[in-house]
Amino acid sequence: MFCFFFLSFLFLLSIAQTDPSKADQWLDDIFPYRPQSQWNISSSAYAYPRTLNYTVTEGTWLRLDVHPISSAILFDMVGTLFCLPSTGGTAVPIFAPSVAYDTEPRFSPDGSHFLYRSDDGIGIDNIWLIPFTGCHEHGRWTARQVTNETFRYVSAARFHPSGRSIIASKWYTSTVTVGAPEAWLYSLDNVPSVGERVIGREESTKGESYGESQIGPEQALWASNNSLIYLRNVRDTFHIDNAGSGIFGKSCSFQYSTALLTSALQTCIRVL
């Protein structure tokens, strides 16, 4: 038996699910939420664009992924995607200079494509899919838009192990600016995809409507073909902080969630 102090502890606990009828009645699922407009951030934002040249040797808060075969590294910096060969050297921009803000690259399981998050188009963050052909410039016109949000934004997309769908966090706003997300599943067979809610927000004891709930899943990723791991706030309050988060697992086949890891100061783990 041993014991140690850490910010988190492991435990298994069944948790109550949100009443599905309340989530189904949430009318924000209408597709699309707002009619598409002809405005395009890449062509309509600035009549006189300017080019900023800069040289860096390191970065902060970079999102990256490693190619499963070549080990090439995709990463983002200041809204631009770069590719770095496994042998090192100079990082190459994936796209020609653009006003669009591109971030969160993620390779498909076989390395043939990658996802990224971008506000290209109407200026709302959506998930895009593009073939990966190596560490060189790619044509932005070869990318396909996976999600078609016109009001909510989508982030943290992850491929299903089959490579035929993705899971992503769809973000909502309410009384406060930091809203609760939901985990949505998007098929890649026919894009853009309407999407399907997989994990909805949780009801709290404050009695607000489902649309005001601040407790929801985020950063979902696939643990297997039919199960997810995700992060969710575990405090029944509007106060969001790192000490109030928990990691959960969900089986998509049996529709239940299990708490895997929650944060608690100076909690002792005992293994018998």
| Residue ranges per structural domain of the chain | 18-45+60-222
Distance from chain centroid for Cα 78: 18
What's the mean pLDDT when you consider all of the chain?
75
pLDDT band at residue 215 using 50, 70 and 90 as cut-offs? confident
User: Which whole number is the average pLDDT over 54-68?
Assistant: 89
Smallest Cα–Cα separation from 151: which of 193, 177, 116, 123? Answer: 123
Lowest pLDDT segment from 69-73, 84-88, 172-176: 172-176
- The answer, yes or no, to whether the previous bond of 32 is cis (omega within 30 of 0) is yes
Cα R_g (the chain), whole angstroms: 20
3-state SS assignment for residue 29: helix
For residue 235, the model assigns a pLDDT of: 57
List phi, psi (to 5°) of 227. -145, 150
Q: Rounded to two decimals, what is the model's pTM?
A: 0.76
Distance from chain centroid for Cα 16: 24
Lowest pLDDT segment from 68-72, 109-113, 209-213, 257-261: 257-261
Most confident listed range (12-16, 34-38, 87-91): 87-91
Predicted confidence (pLDDT) at residue 30 exceeds the cutoff of 70: no
pLDDT band at residue 238 using 50, 70 and 90 as cut-offs? very low
Predicted confidence (pLDDT) at residue 180 exceeds the cutoff of 90: no
**Cβ burial 26-47 (10 Å sphere, 16+ → b, else e):** beebeeeeeeeeeeebbeeeee
For residue 61, the model assigns a pLDDT of: 87
Q: Which residue has the higher pLDDT, 10 or 63?
A: 63
For residue 107, the model assigns a pLDDT of: 97
User: Which whole number is the average pLDDT over 149-172?
Assistant: 91
The token duo for 165 is 């769908």
The owner of tokens 């996802």 is 115
Find residue 131's DSSP bridge partners: 113
Predicted confidence (pLDDT) at residue 79 exceeds the cutoff of 70: yes
How far apart, in whole angstroms, are the C-alpha atoms of residue 2 and residue 96? 55
Q: Are 150 and 35 in contact (CB under 8 A)?
A: yes
How far apart, in whole angstroms, are the C-alpha atoms of residue 92 and residue 51? 17
For residue 77, the model assigns a pLDDT of: 93
For residue 207, the model assigns a pLDDT of: 63
Predicted confidence (pLDDT) at residue 69 exceeds the cutoff of 80: yes
Predicted confidence (pLDDT) at residue 5 exceeds the cutoff of 80: no
Predicted confidence (pLDDT) at residue 116 exceeds the cutoff of 60: yes
Predicted confidence (pLDDT) at residue 142 exceeds the cutoff of 90: yes
